[in-house]
């Protein structure tokens, strides 16, 4: 839906509202024409139904407005004496069109001093639930969203079982593009197992102002760009057509930002020809071949002493050869002194050994997960040359991501030695938005940009800022399951994370004590 389509839709709603309510406005002592003026008519209506005027802002908040409209329909009917259960059901089932019946076919009498207090406990309960849903939806959509770490791609910075709060306001909250969606869930309604949204209508991409942009080394939550593809490296052509904001949520580290040149050499990331400087809390991990001495390993000690949480597996029992799937360099220094370790060698895919699963997934480059690139990460307003070499790097960017940004279909193809865009020969292209290169710290156990490419700006969800709970799925009892040292710690910053749980509990005790003594004094 373009801005013009959105304007026409709003105009249609205004016309529908006017013809369904103008007589009701008159009965309430207002002028009939007040029902025809956009925004102003909503302010007047809220006065008529004895509700706060600022509710009008909630009508322009996607998803929240879906909750507000039924409330307004029911409140309007009740303000003119239609307050039976049947009236309420008819208003909701007819999507508010029951108001037309009240407007034209009933002798409606305006109840000016109507009590807003629910006449039953069930009505009071429903009202409280609606208010809670509206408030929670606003927080969830525009301020802070809970998120769970499902994989080990960012160990040891973020662990499997960490429960995060993801800030929407750091990079600027996105206005939901999917206009009709079940509140506070992602793409599927829990338990029911059905889609939580309708694909139409789709609103244009908009983002509220943030106070920072995505910085190199930031940990970022984003919508997985290739989630529309049934199987990214499958040529069957079958797709799941998901809206941008309903694609699966991923969390990775932005190792490259818009305008950077990036290359991976023997597993080490180079940005603008300089080794990537990670933050102190970042602990990259790699896989290693381990030659044992025949004594075996205690799996519990591997986790507790050496931090090997992704496991150790046999490669060759006869030669006593193992593979450590992931370990940091600090833990590796300790592990090399293990009594069963003879030698340790990092597993590196050699330069020139092509991996068909690596971006740009066309079989025309000899890149792999450890030797990759160099590539340029597109920046808004910057122009690149389009030729046979760069065609595959930017094809999906131009056809899909740039097309989504502009709301148009784009087709990039090669005829002979010439690149064509929408049937016209082109030698260059100017990007319309910024892009990022996202990777996991667990270098050999992370499905990231090395496999599916760039992350567009319009796919950025937010920035993880706080760990409020952390559960160890391998623990045997509840007390050990909770990683107490990680509770109420920040995601960013330098040095070892500090838990603020004690300060939080002290604050709760002070608030409870203050309320107790205030009530006792009264």
Catalytic residue numbers read 153, 252
Give the end-to-end CA distance of the chain in Å, rounded to a whole number.
Answer: 57
In angstroms, rounded to a whole number, what is the distance separating the alpha carbons of residues 11 and 58?
A: 18
Please name every residue paired with 303 in a beta bridge, in sequence order, or none if there are none. none
Neighbours of 169 (CB within 10 A): 17
- Rounded to whole angstroms, the Cα distance separating 58 from 278 reads 42
Widest Cα–Cα separation across the chain: 94
Residues in CB range of 156: below 8 A, 6 or more apart? 283, 285, 307, 328, 441
Residue 325 and residue 480: Cα distance in Å, rounded?
24
Instruction: Output DSSP code: residue 178.
Output: B
3-state secondary structure 429-489: EECCCCEEEEECCECCCCCCHHHHCCEEHHHEEEEEEEEEEEECCCCCCHHHHECHHHCCE
Task: Specify whether the CB–CB gap between 452 and 435 falls below 8 A.
Answer: no
- Please report, for residues 210, 279, 445, the alpha-carbon distance to residue 456 in angstroms, rounded to integers and kept in the order given: 17, 23, 23
List 291's β-bridge partners, or say none.
321, 343
Spatial separation of the C-alpha atoms in residues 43 and 45, rounded to whole Å: 5
Helix (H) or strand (E) holding 10: helix 3-27
> What are the helix and strand counts (H, E) for the chain?
14, 25
* Residue 302, C-beta contacts closer than 8 angstroms, at least 6 positions apart: 308, 312
Residue 48 CA to residue 76 CA, distance in Å, equals 8
Backbone angles phi, psi at 100, to 5 degrees: -60, -40
Name the phi and psi angles at 237, rounded to 5: 85, 0
C-alpha to C-alpha distance for 51 and 61, rounded to whole angstroms: 18
Nearest alpha carbon to residue 465 among 223, 155, 144, 173:
144
Q: What are phi and psi of 367, to 5 degrees?
A: -95, 160
d(CA 247, CA 237): 18
């Amino acid at each position: 839906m373009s801005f013009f389509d959105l304007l026409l839709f709003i105009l249609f709603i205004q016309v529908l509202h006017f013809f369904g309510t103008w007589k009701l406005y008159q009965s309430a002592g207002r002028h009939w024409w007040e029902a025809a003026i956009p925004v102003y008519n909503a302010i007047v209506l809220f006065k008529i139904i004895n509700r706060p005027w600022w509710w009008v802002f909630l009508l322009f908040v996607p998803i929240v407005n879906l909750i507000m409209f039924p409330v307004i329909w029911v409140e309007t009917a009740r303000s003119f004496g239609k307050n039976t259960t049947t009236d309420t059901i008819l208003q909701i089932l007819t999507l508010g069109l029951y108001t037309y019946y009240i407007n034209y076919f009933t002798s409606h009498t305006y109840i000016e001093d109507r009590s807003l207090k629910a006449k039953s406990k069930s009505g009071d309960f429903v009202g409280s639930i609606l208010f809670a849903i509206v408030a929670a939806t606003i927080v969830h959509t525009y301020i802070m969203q809970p998120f769970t770490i499902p994989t080990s791609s960012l160990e040891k910075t973020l662990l499997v079982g960490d429960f995060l709060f993801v800030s929407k306001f750091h990079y600027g909250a996105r206005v939901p593009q999917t206009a009709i969606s079940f509140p506070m869930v992602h793409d599927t309604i829990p338990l029911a197992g059905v889609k939580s949204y309708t694909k139409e209508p789709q609103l244009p991409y908009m983002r509220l102002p943030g106070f920072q942009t995505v910085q190199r080394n930031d940990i970022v939550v984003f919508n997985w760009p290739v989630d529309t593809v049934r199987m990214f490296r499958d040529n069957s052509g079958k797709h799941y057509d998901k809206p941008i904001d309903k694609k699966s949520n991923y969390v990775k580290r932005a190792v490259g930002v818009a305008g950077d040149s990036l290359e991976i050499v023997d597993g080490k990331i180079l940005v603008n020809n300089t080794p990537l400087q990670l933050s102190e809390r970042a602990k990259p991990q790699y896989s290693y071949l381990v030659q044992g001495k025949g004594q075996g390993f205690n799996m519990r000690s591997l986790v507790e002493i050496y931090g090997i949480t992704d496991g150790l597996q046999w490669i060759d029992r006869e030669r006593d050869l193992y593979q450590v799937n992931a370990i940091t360099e600090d833990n590796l220094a300790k592990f090399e002194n293990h009594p069963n370790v003879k030698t340790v060698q990092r597993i590196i895919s050699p330069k020139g050994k092509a991996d068909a699963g690596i971006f740009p997934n066309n079989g025309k480059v000899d890149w792999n997960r450890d030797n990759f690139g160099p590539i340029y990460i597109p920046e808004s307003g910057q122009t690149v040359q389009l030729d046979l070499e760069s065609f595959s790097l930017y094809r999906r960017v131009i056809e899909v991501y740039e097309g989504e940004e502009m709301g148009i279909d784009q087709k990039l193809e090669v005829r002979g030695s010439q690149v064509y865009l929408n049937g016209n020969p082109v030698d260059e292209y100017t990007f319309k938005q910024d892009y990022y290169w996202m990777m996991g710290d667990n270098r050999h156990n992370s499905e990231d940009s090395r496999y599916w490419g760039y992350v567009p700006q319009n796919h950025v969800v937010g920035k993880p800022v706080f760990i409020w709970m952390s559960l160890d799925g391998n623990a045997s009892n509840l007390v050990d399951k909770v990683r107490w040292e990680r509770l109420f710690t920040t995601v960013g910053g330098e040095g070892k994370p500090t838990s603020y749980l004690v300060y939080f509990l002290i604050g709760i005790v002070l608030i409870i004590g203050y309320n107790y003594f205030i009530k006792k004094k009264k």
